[in-house]
Amino acid sequence: MAAVILQASGLSRAFGGLQAVDGVDFELQAGEIHALIGPNGAGKTTFVSLLSGRIKPDAGVIRLGGSDITALPAHARVRAGIAYTFQITSIYPRLSVFDNVALAVRGGDLAASVMAALRRVGLAERADQVAGNLSYGHQRLLEVAMGLALSPRVLILDEPTQGLAAGEIAGFVALIRSLVPQTTVLLIEHNMEVVMGLADRITVLNFGRVLARGTTAEIRANPAVQAAYLGGDDAVA
């Protein structure tokens, strides 16, 4: 079994009377693509916001590579090796593609690091373009390049294929697959075809709790998951 790179124990967070994340235990193995799925409102984005330090937990412990990072703010977790791309694009639209990535580079040869990240996502030839003029699909790729420029140990992708055309999704899937095992990927995704085609393991959240975890085959066959999630509009044949 691969080493555990990111671990949560008893992670909880409430907003008023709503228990968004309720005692979640989670392990991310180094070099894997791990999908986090569940119905809308299941607590997925809150959970990864806890992992990335954007919000603080009410209870629980988060470890990265065995080190307790629970008290670290988001910027310190970025330095420790966690990169997070958002559900809604968060580029700097008035800057060039090159400059967007340059803002994320840490140390080394800046130009070489930027261009290496842009080549990874197929945007090297667009380096001088204004980021806001890119298509939506290319903006999503730019976000991934910004994440990769951080040289992350863990890359968290929140709904990366949302709004992409079918042809763009195929390219994006190929890109994500190419990132491992050098980078460990945690993927939040509603497109079950993408999930089943990419994930090594899947964790299913429902009402802020872990409903199931396992391989794609195990999750596909799980009656509780079928009832709570896969049996609806997102059903997988």
Q: What are the residue boundaries of the structural domains of the chain, listed by start?
A: 33-53+72-230
Judged by DSSP in three states, 219 sits in: helix
Tell me 126's DSSP state.
G
Question: Left (φ > 0), alpha (ψ -120 to 50) or beta: where does 226 sit?
Answer: alpha
Q: Is 33-53+72-230 in CATH node 3.30.540.10? A: no
pLDDT tens track of the chain, all 237 residues? 679 999 999 999 999 889 999 999 999 999 999 999 988 888 998 999 999 999 999 999 999 999 999 999 999 999 899 998 865 457 889 999 999 999 888 767 899 999 999 998 889 999 999 999 998 888 988 998 998 888 899 999 988 888 788 888 888 899 899 989 999 999 998 888 999 999 999 999 999 999 999 999 999 899 888 887 665 444 432
Mean pLDDT of the chain: 89
- In this structure, the number of other CB atoms found within 10 A of the CB of residue 107 comes to 7
**31, exposed or middle or buried, with CB in 10 Å at 0-12, 13-18, 19+?**
middle
Calpha distance 65→67 (Å, rounded): 6
pLDDT at 89: 59
pLDDT at 86: 62
Q: Token pair 């009656």 is at which residue?
A: 223
pLDDT at 58: 96
For the chain, the maximum distance between any two Cα atoms, rounded to a whole number of angstroms, is 52
